Each structure stands twice: as C-alpha cells, then as structure tokens.
Amino acid sequence: MDYEIFELGDVTLQSGVTLPNAFLAYKTYGKLNKKKDNVIIYPTAFGDQHVQNEWLIGKGMALDPQKYFIIVPNLLGNGLSSSPSNTPPPFDRANFPQVTIYDNVKLQYRLVTEKFGIQKIALVVGWSMGGIQSFQWGASYPDMVERIAPFCGGAKTWPQTYVVLDGMKAALMAAVGFDSSKINKLTSAEMRAVGRVYAGWGLSQAFYREELYREMGYDSLEGFVAGVWEDSFMNMDPHNVLAMLWTGQFADIGADPAYNGDFDEALKSIKALACIMPGSTDLFCTADENKYEAMLIPNAVFNPIESIWGHFAGRGINKVDNKFIDDNLKRLLALSINE
C-alpha cells in the first residue's frame, strides 16, 4: 500500500445522510516545513487514484517535493477512499450515499487541519473533477487558499457536461434494463460500453482525424478505443463509477451552504490568485464556460491550453501540454497575493 488512511469517523454528508466509519486515502510527497506554509493540495479526478497525478510531481517541476509538501487526497468513490466497493452494508454498492464535491473538500479540510495542523495552503491544483475541487477549496476556504489552478475542469457541471455524464450512466444502466433494483448485479464487464461512450468526448475531433493515437503506440482507431477506453473503464468498479458520476453531475461550488445556490457569488468570493487553464478543444469542460467563471473571480487569469488533445490536454500524456501546465504553475507560485 503506497498511501495512507485518515479515519474520519461517522460523517454527516451534505445530503443529511451519515456515512459511518468514513475515511480518506491520501499520499504525500515532500516534507512540511516549520511554518507549514509550503502546502499544495492536488485532488484526484473522476476514476483516477493518486498514482495518476504523479506525472505533474517531480524535481525541477512546479510541484517539486524538494520544495513543497504535496498532499494528494483520493476522491470519495474512487475505490481507495470510502467507496461503494469498500464500504460494508448497509452502505455498500448501490446503497452508497450521494457524495458532493463540497463533501469531498470539507473532509479534505479535516485531513489538512486535523492531521497536519495546516492553516495556509499555497496552491490547490487539479484536472477535471480535481479542477472542480480546486474551485471549491477557493470558495469554501477563501482566507486559507492563496492560489488555485484548475485545468480542464469547471466550477460547476454545466448542462451539456451533465448530459455527457448522463450518457455514460445510461450506457451502464442499459445493462440492467434501467432497473435500479438490479444495480447490484452490475459487473466490471458492463463498463466496456461506458468506455466507448467516453471515447468520443475525451479527445477532440482533430485528435482522431490526425490519428494522434499512433503516437501512443496504436496502429488503428479500433485498437486505440479498445486498448485505452474499454480497458481503462473495465478496470473500474461499476458501483464506484455510478457514485462518482453522481458527484460529477451535481457539482456546483454555489451549492456550498455559504452561498445558498448563488454560483456567481461563490466565484466572486474566491480570493485566491487563480490560473484557469481549459483545453482549447475540450468538448465537455469547455473554454467558454471557464472564461465566464474567470471573469467573476477577482484575481483570475484565463489561459487556455492550445491543444487538440481535448479534455486529455490535462491528462499528462502530451509533453507540450504538460510543459504548458507546469510553466503556468511555476509562474503562479512565483506570484504574491499582493502583486
């Protein structure tokens, strides 16, 4: 086991449901300094675990463990933190409660403050649903978070993004005839169709047209779809996926009780220096929606990743995109809140 567990006890979620014996799985990189002010939070995205975040961490990079104390908390539902697959009855599998982005960040806050005694965070950064969490951190704890850097992720799930996630859910539910009473019969084999649905959204039209999958070692479109999308999704537990899809579909930083559903007010409340990096060809976390969000955040810079890798411009696969993200993070970390 290359990660640690933070026991949360019985947790009352935003829905009002109490999840007993909840826990967060997390991994740290580097050392916390005496002032406890060299902290970077780097939450995981949908379907990812902390290992998938490691491409952005390393010596000489913005997220340098020799300089910063980097905490990677795993998303609830991802199979490592409390999830349908590892929670005992009566909250196992289909009975796992609905968890929000607000819930995730609130529990991460407990990890940061109770476990480590941290009161100031230099940066919260994340891709996709990790990006949503970085917005949430900025809105929920504006006096604690100095910088945020979401990439390929919005501050809420806009309507078209909701529809994309709903299509993924539908592909899974079709396997049980859309009968919610049969959800517990789902197996990872049914995830194959979900991977096929996501294949058309994760990357741009130009990526497929220019056959960039050949750079990843695939000599045909079919081989790429089967080898990447089918295989990756079939490695996921379907109940975990349904839980994370719900979290994603209903993500909205305005749903924080402090803002009572006022999305614009939540954005305006963020005091952190923000570098918002959408993928220029992202098909479902669009640059236009990020641009709107950036306009309302007082100290935000809108800096799209000019790439034909779509949503996966932020996935750590393409070296040019990786350098763009890392360079922007270095610039952001070099700035003071007073500049």
Q: Of 94, 89, 311, nearest to 201 (Cα)?
A: 311
Active site residue 282: yes
Task: Write the secondary structure of the chain as one string of H (helix), E (strand) and C (coil).
Answer: CCCEEEEEEEEECCCCCEEEEEEEEEEEECCCCCCCCCEEECCCCCCCCHHHHHHHECCCCCECCCCCEEEEECCCCCCCCCCCCCCCCCCCHHHCCCCCHHHHHHHHHHHHHHHHCCCCECEEEEECHHHHHHHHHHHHCCCCECEEEEECCCCECCHHHHHHHHHHHHHHHHHHCCCHHHHHHCCHHHHHHHHHHHHHHHCCHHHHHCCHHHHHCCCCHHHHHHHHHHHHHHCCCHHHHHHHHHHHHCCEHHHCCCCCCCHHHHHHHCCCEEEEECECCCCCCCHHHHHHHHHHCCCEEECCECCCCHHHHHCCCCHHHHHHHHHHHHHHHHCCCCC
Candidates 81, 128, 140, 269; catalytic one: 128
The catalytic position among 48, 103, 256, 282 is 282
Q: Which residue has the tokens 């954005």?
A: 267
Q: Which residues, 6 or more positions from 173, have their beta carbon under 8 angstroms from its beta carbon?
A: 180, 183
Spatial CA neighbour of 188 closest among 238, 144, 152? 238
| Residue positions annotated with a catalytic role | 128, 282, 311
